[in-house]
């Protein structure tokens, strides 16, 4: 629900202040908060009072947005709408030294999509829903197939008419066969018979030349039948040998094939039978399938994902001793590196024994752990 005179909900507004999209995950929110608080420290603008004041204002807005987004869903529903010191939903100025855009890395996977464009001040904003991706190419393909079919039908009809005009006995001899009486003119042929004749002309050769069950057709050589069957077998084998279409997925995950990784990520900077290297990130393979990774989300991000294997409360805010791996995944998101006994989030580590948390090492300067 949005308030009167406001174009965005409180959560969307807070995400915009952090430079994130509406689909941002919790670990992305925390990564953006850490980056912005470091970049907008007022101590870095001691030589310019104006910039220092702007940095203090920006820092307060970032803190306000982060505090609101980290509330539990129940507390957030009863909380008042945050008030920001800077202009409403104005585009955040670029960070010092960050160029034209700032990308906040996914804590343990990839850089998030770029921040939404600034919304111009207006009395109302009309949001248009984008068409489903890939729909227009399918429509074009169907139209092209329909056009080709129409051209083929027209060519078949012309060939039929030419054949009818040159055949002994006229067109009636083509449709009804030789007759004892006079030929029927083409203009007097029923439309159904013309269409049946055209369809007969387009029948597959193997249907018209195939031998009956009790032996070859009278007058047709056995060698011709064998050759036709051999061509049909080769055609079927050629279609069966075609490689299966690779379906691109938005994430690389455990079990992704070697070909799926290449189709999504492109050619690696280095590779071997059991490893793909993309810059400072690595994907580990076994039997041509992904079994693990070590991701550098800042310099070489790769979109990777681990999903819980059992039902878990999606509103968990913290994990603790004896929490399961699935509960840690819900709270912390996909790790940047993992093994059977560890999940790594940057320089922070969670230790497991029999899939239960037994200890952790928290590095707030890297990726802080939400542990108690």
- Per-residue pLDDT tens over the stretch 106-135: 333 334 444 444 433 333 333 444 445 567
* 311 and 364 co-located in one domain: yes
CA–chain centroid gap for 110, Å, is: 14
Phi, psi of 341 (to 5 degrees): -115, 0
- CA nearest 351: which of 330, 321, 327? 321
Give the pLDDT of residue 331.
93
Residue 111 belongs to some domain of the structure: no
Is 225 contained in some domain?
Answer: no
In a domain, 116, yes or no: no
- The pTM for the full model equals 0.35
- Give the pair of three-digit tokens for residue 312: 């878990």
CATH number for the domain harbouring residue 20: 1.10.287
What range defines the domain where residue 70 resides?
A: 10-78
Residue 310 and residue 368 in one domain: yes
What is the structure's pLDDT at 168? 60
Last residue in a domain, options 265, 290, 305: 305
Q: Mean pLDDT check: name the lowest of 103-117, 209-223, 271-285.
A: 103-117
Mean pLDDT, range 53-81, rounded to an integer? 88
Judge if 310 and 372 occupy the same domain: yes
Burial of 303 (0-12, 13-18, 19+ CB in 10 A): middle
> Picking from 36-45, 67-76, 82-91, 257-266, which range would have the lowest pLDDT averaged per residue?
82-91
DSSP string, 189-241: S-HHHHHHHHHHHTS-HHHHHPPPTTSPPTT--HHHHHHHHHHHHHHHHHHHT
Beta bridge mates, 283? 276, 293
pLDDT of 202: 56
In this structure, is residue 249 part of a structural domain? yes
Distance, in Å, from the CA atom of 343 to the CA atom of 252, rounded to the nearest integer, reads 17
In this structure, the answer to whether residues 19 and 72 fall within a common structural domain is yes
Q: Which of 31, 47, 78 is the last residue of a domain?
A: 78
Asked whether residue 16 falls in the same domain as residue 74, the answer is: yes
Q: Cα separations (Å) of 298 from 105, 107, 305, 365?
A: 6, 9, 16, 14
pLDDT confidence of residue 301: 80
Q: Tell me whether residue 35 is in a domain.
A: yes
Same domain, 15 and 53: yes
Alpha helices in the chain (DSSP H): 10-17, 26-39, 49-69, 73-78, 135-166, 171-175, 191-201, 205-209, 222-240, 258-265, 325-332
Query: How far is the C-alpha of 366 from the C-alpha of 349, rounded, in Å?
Result: 11
pLDDT band for 246, please (50, 70, 90 cuts). low
Tell me what pLDDT residue 322 has: 93
Looking at the fold, whether 357 and 310 belong to one and the same domain comes out as yes
Of 85-89, 92-96, 307-311, which one has max mean pLDDT?
307-311
Considering the domain architecture, whether residues 338 and 294 belong to the same structural domain is answered as no
Q: Kindly state whether residues 372 and 310 are assigned to the same domain.
A: yes
Banded model confidence at residue 188, pLDDT cuts 50, 70, 90: very low
Instruction: Confirm whether 335 is domain-assigned.
Output: yes
- 64: pLDDT strictly greater than 90: yes
Nearest to 116 by CA among 37, 26, 22, 8: 22
CA proximity to 34, closest of 338, 297, 337: 297
State percent of the chain over pLDDT 90: 26
Give me Rg for the CA atoms of the chain.
Answer: 34
Who wins on pLDDT, 63 or 104? Answer: 63
Average pLDDT across the chain, whole number: 75
Total count of domains within the chain = 3
pLDDT at 320: 95
Has residue 343 been placed in a domain? yes
Identify whether the C-beta of residue 65 lies closer than 8 Å to the C-beta of residue 370: no
Query: Is the pLDDT higher at 351 or at 215?
Result: 351
Please list the residues that pair with 271 across neighbouring strands. 276
**What is the pLDDT confidence band of residue 171, given thresholds at 50, 70 and 90?**
low
Query: What does the buried/exposed string (b/e) look like for 239-278 if buried means 16 or more CB atoms within 10 Å of the residue's CB?
Result: eeeeeeeeeeeeebbeebebebbeebeeebeebeeeebeb
- Which of 48, 78, 108 marks a domain boundary? 78
User: Is 317 within a domain?
Assistant: yes
Residue 27 confidence (pLDDT): 92
């Amino acid at each position: 629900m949005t308030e009167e005179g406001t174009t965005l909900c409180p959560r969307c507004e807070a995400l915009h202040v952090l430079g994130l999209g509406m689909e941002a995950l919790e670990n992305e929110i925390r990564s953006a908060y850490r980056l912005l608080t470091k970049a907008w420290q007022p101590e870095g603008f001691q030589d310019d009072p104006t910039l220092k004041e702007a940095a203090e204002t920006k820092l307060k807005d970032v803190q306000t947005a982060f505090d609101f987004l980290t509330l539990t869903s129940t507390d957030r529903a009863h909380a008042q709408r945050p008030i920001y010191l800077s202009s409403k939903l104005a585009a955040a100025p670029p960070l010092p030294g960050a160029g034209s855009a700032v990308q906040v890395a996914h804590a343990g996977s990839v850089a998030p999509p770029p921040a939404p464009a600034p919304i111009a001040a207006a009395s109302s904003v009309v949001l248009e829903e984008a068409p489903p991706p890939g729909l227009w190419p399918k429509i074009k393909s169907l139209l092209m197939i329909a056009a080709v079919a129409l051209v083929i039908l027209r060519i078949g009809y012309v060939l039929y008419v030419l054949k009818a005009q040159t055949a002994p006995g006229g067109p009636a001899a083509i449709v009804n066969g030789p007759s004892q009486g006079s030929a029927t003119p083409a203009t007097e042929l029923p439309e159904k018979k013309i269409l049946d004749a055209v369809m007969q002309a387009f029948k597959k050769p193997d249907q018209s030349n195939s031998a009956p069950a009790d032996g070859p057709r009278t007058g047709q050589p056995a060698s011709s039948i064998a050759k036709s069957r051999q061509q049909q077998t080769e055609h079927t084998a050629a279609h069966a040998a075609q490689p299966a279409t690779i379906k691109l997925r938005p994430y690389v995950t455990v079990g992704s094939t070697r070909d799926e990784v290449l189709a999504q990520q492109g050619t690696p900077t280095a590779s071997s039978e059991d490893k793909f290297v993309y810059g400072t990130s690595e994907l580990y393979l076994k039997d041509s399938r992904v079994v693990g990774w070590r991701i550098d989300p800042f310099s070489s991000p790769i979109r990777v994902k681990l999903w819980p294997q059992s039902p878990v409360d999606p509103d968990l805010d913290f994990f603790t001793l004896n929490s399961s791996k699935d509960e840690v995944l819900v709270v912390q998101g996909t790790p940047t590196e993992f093994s059977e006994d560890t999940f790594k989030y940057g320089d922070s580590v969670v230790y497991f024994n029999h899939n239960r948390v037994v200890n952790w090492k928290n590095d707030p300067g890297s990726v802080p752990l939400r542990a108690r």
